[in-house]
Structure formats: C-alpha cells, structure tokens
Structure 1
C-alpha cells in the first residue's frame, strides 16, 4: 500500500490508496430540498458505487451547535458564517477518510448516526452489511452489563438494551413490553427512542447518561460497560464498511452541508475530486421546504428567501473561480432536467464523470420511483418527479412568487432559468 498525504492548503489529511486501483471520488452538492436525495439514488442504486448519504450531519451539529439549517452558512443579517481552520480540517478530514476508505479514522459519532445505523434507511445501501452486523445477537460483553448492580431497574434496562436484534433498531414498543409497570417507563421510552430511533447519535458524556438513564444509582458505572460494548461493536462492524469501500471503484458522498468556498479549498486538497453541483429553481426549493412539516416556516418567507438567494448567489459566483482553477472538476445538473428526462440526464452525467453506462439497477429504480400516481410525502423520493418540479406554481401565493423572483433575480439569471419557466 502506498501512503500519501493531503498537505495542500495547510490541511494534513492522510489517506491510503492501493497502487493497483485509483477510485473515482465524486461529491454531490446542492441545497436542503434541492433534489439531492433523488440525484443521490442515481449513485446509491449502482452496485459499483460506494455511496454515503449526508455523513456531515452529526459533525455540523457538533461543531456548529443546534442552529437552524437555513443558517448553516449565513447569519440572519446575511453575513457569511465563518469556519475556523479547525472546523474546516474536521470537515475535510471526514470527507477524505470516506473517499479513501480510511474508515478507522471516522469519529464514532459518524458511525453511530441514524443515517448509518438505521436498517430501514436505504439511502446508503453500501452500509447494509454494517447495519446487519450491528443488529446481530449481542455477545457476552453486553450480557454482562449491570451484572454487579442490585437495582432491579438496571436489570430491566439491560433486557431492553441487550435484547436480540434490538440494540440499534430499538422501538418504543420494545420498551413498553419491558417497562409497562415501572415508574421508569416514560423517561426511558422518550430517551431511548431519541438515542436509537431518531437522528441523534449515541454519543453522550457519562455525566449526561448518568443524569438521564440512571436516576437508578446516580452513577455512570452501570451504563459504561454498555457504552463500551456499543463502541467496540461499531468499530468491529465498521470493517464491513471498509470491505465494501475497497471493493467498489466509485466513491460518492452526497451532502447539503457544503458551501462553494469550502469545495474550492477541498479541491486544493483533493485535486482529483469530481464535484456535481445540482441546481434547482429557488422557487421549487423554498416551496418544498415549506411543504414539509419538518422545515415549515412560511411565516418567515422573506428571511428564508433572502438567505437562500444570498447563499446561492455566493456559490454561483465562487463556482466560476472554481471552474477557472479546476476546469475539469465540476459538472452542473439541473433538478428540473433530471426530473423531466431522468434517463437522458443520468446518462449524460455518467458520461461527464467518466463512470460508464447506467446499470440495470438504476433503470429499474427510475421506473419504480418516478411515475408514481401520488407522492409519498415531501421527504420521499418515490413520486411523480415531473409533477413535483412545478408544484410551486399552484402552491405558492402570487405575492410570495413575485418576492422570490425579485430577490433571486441574479440567481435565476446565472442559472439560466428563463421567463417562460417562471410564468
């Protein structure tokens, strides 16, 4: 194995690469509700692709705090959010570790995140063998959890946490069965659902776990063996990720947590990286956000619009600098084109990226997921894609449409969305 180092731009991000193979690295970048999940499936469904969906989700939460997603890159006053060299290094090292299959360099909170561990979350099919390993029957380490405790609640907790096939895929009903007649039921049900089933990671301090899980003995000693078991199992099972990563010649990361100036610096570190920048009409992005209960805040439509248009304009201008310095590194695709002519658009994209023809698995996925008679919800990729693209025309108020068109005037022009599309 040949050891190289990304030392450009002051970022030392090491990776290991086989001398006999040279994987293709692809970064899919767009905006929240910009159609990236749909685009991502064009790679996720390809058996030659190692695909990771939103690996920066927990990292952004940790390095930036629980800020609103619309403020990841800009403040409410429309000024750019500053990323310290340390934060940039954290982001770049994580991405490069995935691209180069250096899985042991990934923080445990990335490997424990719901996007990676949830067996019912098929956005990263490359991680399925990892998830299956996590859900295997617990070993003796887990069974020894809390064995020295005389508190009966610890025993009940152990039965929940160490039950067969449930330590990562735990559901509230599992807790109902074990704790239905105890005073601990309500708090554990709420907390464990958050720990194992929602989008938070399993990574908490011992003190936090003591306060939340153990009104039992006011000590973390009973939970520490279980945390140790989980961490050990995550590391052991992550070998499955490494195997899949090394077997596949195309490595793809999809993220909405990226700004174009960061991409430019990432290219300085990984010049062979290919970037796919997905455009979507900001009217469609904002309507999609407001249609989702998770992001719904149409009462703030002016601020939402101002922030999105400012960020898109910044990214578009910066992308010109990127293309001048790395003329063969960026490919642009419009979500509207992808929805209207999925097979043609994906064929063209694959050609631009030099990754061959579309496999049968993607043809099948396109047929199954783009002509649904009804949509499956705003967070689903199974829908009539052509109809969804222009839903904003019937769902947005005329006043809001005009405001967005005015504020995003430069963006719409730079993206070549002509007046006919906007009428």
Structure 2
C-alpha cells in the first residue's frame, strides 16, 4: 500500500534551568582544573624548559668601621701606621700616628640600603715628614636575602706610591662581587663569612721594593695573625661561648625598658648593662642614627663578649666604672668582683650603689662580666632588625632578642615629661648634623621622632614574623609593657623562660613590691609605684587633640601591636574601656599614607 506525506513541521524543544546548579559547578571545576594547575606549575618551575635564569638584587653592604692604614714617609722605609685594632697599634711603637677619621654612608635612593660610603682620613704630620705612599684596608659586611640568605665579610684595598711627595690622595671606586660558584638556595650561606684570610692575604700584598720594607711587611703580617687569632679562638671555642646566653632588650625611649631591664638586672645570674651605646651617640652626635648603627652594633657585640676595650674609643683612659652611663642600675656592678658592698644574691639599690661603689676600677667590669652565664643589654638605638643579623649569625654569640613595645600615646606623654633629657637623641634621630633642636620646634620634633619609632616597630615586627630567616626562629620575643604591668609574674616568668632563667621567691616579692607601690615614679628612676595606674595616666592628662595626632602618626603600629584607637574624648577618659586588645584578636594592617616606610 503506498504511503505519502501530506504535511510535516519540525519540533523544537528547549529545557531551561537555574544558573546555580551542579552542572554549572562541575563545568567551572573542569575549566579551573584545565587551566590553573598548568599555569601554577609553569610559574613555580620558572618555565618548563628553563635550564638557567638570572635575577637582580641589590646587596646590603655596610661599612664595618674597621680600618688599617700604612703611610710611607720617605723612600728609605720609614712609615706611619694606624688601625682600629688595638693589638696592631700596640706593635707600632713610635710609628703609630692617630688620624682624624670621618665616615658617612649614604642611601641615595632612599630604599633602605646604603649606596655610597664617604670616607675621609686626615693624618697629622711633623714639619719634616712627607707622604710618598699610602695603603689602607676597609672592611664591609655583604648580605643577600631574596633568593639566597648569604652573609659574608669583604674588604676594599687601596694602594698608591710615588717618587714625589703629595698632600692628598683621592680614590673613587666600586665594590663588585665576582661569583664563581652557585649560592645555596635554602638555609644560611656563611661559607665566605671569614675576614681573617682576606685581611692576612691583603697584608702580605702590602710590599715595597726595598729590603727594609719587606721586613716591615713580615712584621705587619705577623701582627695581623696575632690580632685575628682572637677571632679564631672565638670560633674554636664557640661551644664555650654558646654556654652563655646573650639577651638584647630592644625597645625605644620611654617604653618601660628601664623597668624590664631591672627585672633582669636583679637576677643573680645576670650581668646587665643599660644602654652602653649612649657613649657612641654622645661621642659622634654630629652623625645620624643610620650612620652610627654599625658602630653601635660593634660595641654591643664586644660587650656581649665581655671585651670592654671597645669603650676606649668613647671614654677617657683612666676611667672608673662610675664613668659608664647608668652604671648604678646594674646589680652586677655593685657586687663582687666589681664592688664588695652587695652580695651577689642581694637586691641592689642604685642610690646606695652610687654612694659605695663609685670608685671601682673599670677593668673590674670585664672581670665581672666573664663570671656570669647571662649577659643582658638594654638598648634603644636600633631601628631595624636586619642590622642585628650579623650578631644573630655570629657563632661566638647565643643571642636572643626581647622586643619591648608600649602604647605610643603613653610613650608620647612620657616623652613630653622628659623632653630636655632626650634632646640630643632627638637631634640624632632627626639627623640635624649635631645642631640642637630649637625650642619652638620642640613639640613638632617629638612627633617626628615618634613617627620614626612607630615605623621601626612595624619594620622589626614584619622582619621577625613575616620575613624571618631560619636563624631568627625561636630567638625573638615581643612583649607589651601593658601586659607586663597587668600580670607581672606571668609575663616576667615567660621572659625568664625565654632567657633560660628561673624566677626566685626573692625576685617574686621584689616584683610585687615594685609594681604595687603608691608613688608615681620619675623619669629614668625605678621606684615602687602603681605601674598599672601609671600606664593609663595619658588617658586623663593628655589633651584629646594631641591623642588624635599621635594616633594619626602611629595608626599602623598601633594596629600591629594591638592598641585600640579612641574616637572621642569620652572614650579616652572612660577608663573602664580597655584599649589594650588581646593579641589573638587584632589583625595586621598596612601603614597609612603618611607613614610609608623609607
């Protein structure tokens, strides 16, 4: 039977559903897995077929303030010499001549790394003396951190001679690294962190044509071996040094650091010094804090190692212990072997110590230091943590850092109270070239200093918590002054545990008495006072307008450190409102536009 089509039409069926379905989710997951993993692999491997690659990093090069100079005064072999090494100078006899030395490092592009060293050395001469040759060595530290944590010591060597005497010698040069083998990509690379070999080899190169000069070079080389033998001993005896614990209380002015320093000073196992770098700043007040940073670091290192000859450059020859800044607050300097007035286990009083121990010889301080297992130094003259990396990697030190901070509003109130005592320090922080701050600019300068202090707290916190190299782990502890005065025994016990110290019953009683007195205290004096009430004094004594200003300057630091901002005068004076936030509740926030770090 035949069949034929009478009529037809196509049928279109459409199915619709919501965008948010399992099918859509599945499609997105498939797309993500298709494209993202290959991109991540390519990025992390720096390219699938990449065999070699290069990157650029500006190293952190800092002058070590170590100099060795030899000047030929005629063509017959007579010379003058000087160095920053005491043993070398002792060997020179009549040939030793002290020059006038100035050194200034410049950060020309303000990126936090030094770009240029301006070094000037002026040598006084007798009327009959002339200069025919000059040679000198300067030492530097060299650090890389981006792809490889690499630290070494290096040097610059310059030499010039002429048959015609001269009066001035100028050198312009660049320090360059010639790398011959790959650096380690993980861990700390210190293969070349040895200055002894470089200096000794360099000394061998200091030669003249005449036989007498050749003999002189041999003497100088021997002198350098003697000088640096102390460093070799330090390395070979590193286990002995590591039995000691070195604690640096890192803080800023008027932050309760004197009180925390006393907590350690009164411990019978601790040799304590308060701000020994004060002598560096007083002696070289024309320079900025950045310029003085390396000199301060070198002084701290020598003090940790109980080498008190480092103070020769900053104090007069026949000095006493009482010539040291704030010496009387150190219990160790008021007890044997420095002074016999207190027993070693006694709690000292600074006024009594000042009265009975003020004639102790300075060399006894070094003897005392060597008898203690713990050396603790409180210092307020460091503004970043990276400058301390050479100390943290030094095999002769077992360094731990306690970073003490305080509410900037309370710090500002205390700074205003003791402004005149801080004028010299303020001028150095603000780099005023040794000029005193004018009276009408006093308040403005105080705020400028606080801005730098708050920046430094952020830099130190960031370095220690977010960018910490392996050698810093377990060796950094941040402490808030407010936490200490609220719960003294628990906070101090934690600090003692960090420093490998035990809290004795006598110290527990002293801590309670010193924090629960009735007095208000005074600047730079540790007396019995109500510490918790004093820590809140700014809320009732400082005008709200100044509070707003300091909050604006230090907003980023206060956020990082866990301090709540006040929005009104009522909040400021409402003492029941707690402005110290629990550490677990605050979050990091970037700096405001006004406090971008340099």
Tell me which interval the TM-score lies in, with the shorter structure as reference length. Answer: 0.5 to 0.7
Q: Which residue of 218, 242, 251 corresponds with 2:366?
A: 242
Q: 1:410 to 1:91 in 2, by over 3 A?
A: same
Q: Is the 8 A contact 1:278 1:332 kept in 2?
A: yes
Q: 1:312 to 1:250 in 2, by over 3 A?
A: same
Higher helix share: 1
Kindly provide the CA deviation profile for residues 335-367 of structure 1, in whole angstroms up to 9, marking residues without a partner as x.
0011111111010111123x1321234223313
Q: 1:100 to 1:322 in 2, by over 3 A?
A: farther
Aligned match of 1:303: 448
How far off is 1:62 after superposition? 2.3
Question: How many residues were matched structurally?
Answer: 303
Q: Which residue of 334, 337, 353 corresponds with 1:128?
A: 334
- Partner Cα distance (1:119, 1:288) in 2: 21
Kindly provide the CA deviation profile for residues 255-289 of structure 1, in whole angstroms up to 9, marking residues without a partner as x.
11112232234323367310000011111111111
Aligned match of 1:96: 301
- Partner Cα distance (1:350, 1:338) in 2: 13
Residue 317 of structure 2 is aligned to residue 317 of structure 1:
no
How far off is 1:121 after superposition? 5.1
Aligned match of 2:153: 10
- Partner Cα distance (1:255, 1:49) in 2: 16
Kindly provide the CA deviation profile for residues 10-65 of structure 1, in whole angstroms up to 9, marking residues without a partner as x.
28694745855610011111000111100001110001001111110011222343
Residue 419 of structure 2 is aligned to residue 287 of structure 1:
no
- Partner Cα distance (1:120, 1:91) in 2: 17
Kindly provide the CA deviation profile for residues 87-116 of structure 1, in whole angstroms up to 9, marking residues without a partner as x.
555323321221112234442635888985
Kindly provide the CA deviation profile for residues 159-204 of structure 1, in whole angstroms up to 9, marking residues without a partner as x.
xxxxxxxxxx89xxxxxxxxxxxxxxxxxxxxxxxxxx9xxxxxxx
Q: 1:348 to 1:110 in 2, by over 3 A?
A: farther
Q: Indicate the structure whose relative CO is greater, using CA pairs within 8 Å and at least 6 residues apart.
A: 1
In the superposition, the TM-score normalised over structure 2's length comes to 0.45
- Partner Cα distance (2:153, 2:415) in 1: 37
Q: 1:381 to 1:314 in 2, by over 3 A?
A: same
Residue 235 of structure 2 is aligned to residue 109 of structure 1:
no
Aligned match of 1:188: none
- Partner Cα distance (1:119, 1:61) in 2: 11
Larger radius of gyration: 2
Alignment of 1:155-234 (within 5 A): none
In the superposition, the TM-score normalised over structure 1's length comes to 0.62
How far off is 1:132 after superposition? 4.6
Q: 1:44 to 1:357 in 2, by over 3 A?
A: same
The 4+ residue runs of structure 1 with deviation greater than 6 A are 111-115
Aligned match of 1:33: 254
Q: Is the 8 A contact 2:319 2:362 kept in 1?
A: no
Structure 2: runs of 5 or more not aligned: 1-139, 142-150, 155-194, 196-229, 341-353, 423-441, 566-576, 581-598
Structure 1: runs of 5 or more not aligned: 1-5, 74-81, 134-168, 171-196, 198-232
Aligned match of 1:255: 379
Specify the SS of the correspondent of 1:262.
helix
